[in-house]
Copies of this chain bind each other. A is one copy, B any other.
Amino acid sequence: MSNPRPIGVFDSGIGGLTVVKALRDRLPNETIVYLGDTARVPYGPKSPDTVQRYALELARMLMQKDAKALVVACNTVSSVALPLLTRKFSVPVIGVIEPGACAALQVTRNHHIGVIGTRATIRSGAYEKVLRAADNNVRVSSRACPLLVPLIEEGLLDDEVTDQVVTRYLEPLLAKEIDTLVLGCTHYPLLSTAIARVLGHQITLVDSAQKCATAVQETLDRHSLRSPTAEGGELHVALTDAADNFLNVARDALQLNFGEIELQPLP
């Protein structure tokens, strides 16, 4: 069996590789094509219209590679473009928000969930909507944390400045007595150690990259789309512009193996 259809994964940049890492661990015989829009990263500060337009372009590029499923490894895109993508493409489309929200509902005991993410994700209220739709007794406290992505991209994963910034962002959520915190940005799993340090053991962290990978596995099973081969799948990484230093940070921190980066300019 040659050239099994890949899973297409896209993100505004390189952060979505945390989802790829979770997929590789969970589905090692699937081939993955990753497309990161480094020419236009970040999507966080951009308007919903612009993000939707960019998401359609990226999804089309992956469909040209015969993707059997589309994984939106980006909270900003998931929060504003998932219904549109689902309508436009016939393959299953899996985002990061619903899996993260559902996992948070399963682990919270006091029904008070915290969510952190980029300004766009928090402003969209996407996690809140999904959480409330599933359980209208849940309380949600959200916080935009715009400095975390730059700190991660600078490689300050284990650093006192990062700890201070994390503390400042999380203290108001702790004061409100959340018992569960959703990492609502695909970069944030790279800071999970720092975040856990600030949170202590009382709060359960929900990594939406991990939960997204679980949802992808379930979706492929449901649609009988799992790779028929028992061999190891391949990982191809394409970017719309040359990668900067953060690609090395992510590769090292995630211990991901991929070869040459393909440069795939936007149409």
A3 to B96, CA, bound (A): 51
Q: How far is the CB of A135 from chain B (nearest CB, A)?
A: 31
A165 to B151, CA, bound (A): 11
Interface size class of A (residues with CB under 8 A): 20 to 34
A112 to B161, CA, bound (A): 30
A83 to B46, CA, bound (A): 30
Q: Given A146-B150, A146-B153 in contact, is the A244-B161 Cβ separation under 8 Å?
A: no
Residues of B contacting A40 in the complex (Cβ-Cβ under 8 angstroms): 39-40
> How many copies of this chain does the complex contain?
2
In the complex, A234 has a CB within 8 A of chain B:
no
In the complex, A241 has a CB within 8 A of chain B:
yes
Q: Do A50 and B39 have beta carbons less than 8 Å apart?
A: yes
A23-66 interface bits toward B, Cβ cutoff 8 Å, 1 = contact, 0 = none: 00000000000000011110001110010000000000000000
Residues of B contacting A165 in the complex (Cβ-Cβ under 8 angstroms): 161
Cβ contacts A to B, 26 pairs, < 8 Å: A38-B45, A39-B40, A39-B50, A41-B45, A45-B241, A45-B244, A45-B246, A46-B241, A46-B242, A47-B241, A47-B242, A50-B241, A119-B244, A119-B245, A146-B150, A146-B153, A146-B154, A147-B147, A147-B150, A147-B151, A149-B150, A150-B150, A161-B161, A161-B164, A161-B165, A164-B164
